[in-house]
Every structure is written in C-alpha cells, then in structure tokens.
Structure 1
C-alpha cells in the first residue's frame, strides 16, 4: 500500500525549523505559496530562537516532535 503524503504545511514548518536551528538565513525559504511560506518562516523563527537559546541537537529535535 502507498503511504499518504504528509501535510505540506506541516512539512514546510518542520523544514523551516530545521533551517533555523542550522543557522540558515530566513531569505532561503524555498516556498512560493503564501501558506507554506508563512509556516516555513514560523518554523524558522522558532528554530532560530532555539538555536540562540542553546536548544540544538537532541533538545531541538525533541521540541520539534512535541509540536
């Protein structure tokens, strides 16, 4: 059986979070649709804040899975 694709907005958030934690710029958002771009930027902001707070590595991944 085929697996269903994940929700694209949730995927955009997760990818944005990962980009923020890894230190990438918010200008590197790959999405063009408004809703996906908003979710990517939201994830990036939270990931960037976690990076600044020192929640990188396992702590950051755990926080991403909780949301």
Structure 2
C-alpha cells in the first residue's frame, strides 16, 4: 500500500512539474486530495524556480 501511495504522489509531483514547465497556472491543479494537491503544487513551484533560473526556455 505504501508503494502505491508514494507512486501516486510521485506522479502528481511530476505532473505538476510538467505543468510548470509548460507555463500553466497553478490554478490548473487537477487534484482534490490535500496530499496530491500539495505534491502537484510542489512540482509546479520547482518547475517555476527552474524556469526563472534559466534552466528551461
């Protein structure tokens, strides 16, 4: 069970990161659960930070 939960949260983080790289708004988060939403937003913030540092165009 723990592995499935971690995989789901890892996927939410990765999806948030991809959304951030593509320039989508944080309001576009598709998740409703607090845990998944938190992971998605963490990925989104990481991508925005990477974009602002010039790692991606």
TM (normalized to structure 1)? 0.72
- Tell me whether 1:42 sits opposite 2:42 in the alignment: yes
Give CA-to-partner distance per residue, 1:4-56, whole Å, 9 cap, x none.
Answer: x7811000000001111111100000000110000000000000111111112
Unaligned runs of 5+ in 1: 58-67
Residues 1-67 of structure 1 aligned to structure 2 (within 5 Å): 7-56=7-56
Structure 2: 5+ residue stretches without partners: none
Number of residue equivalences: 53
Q: Quote the Cα distance in structure 2 between the aligned partners of 1:53 and 1:9.
A: 25
Which 4+ runs in 1 deviate beyond 6 A?
Answer: none
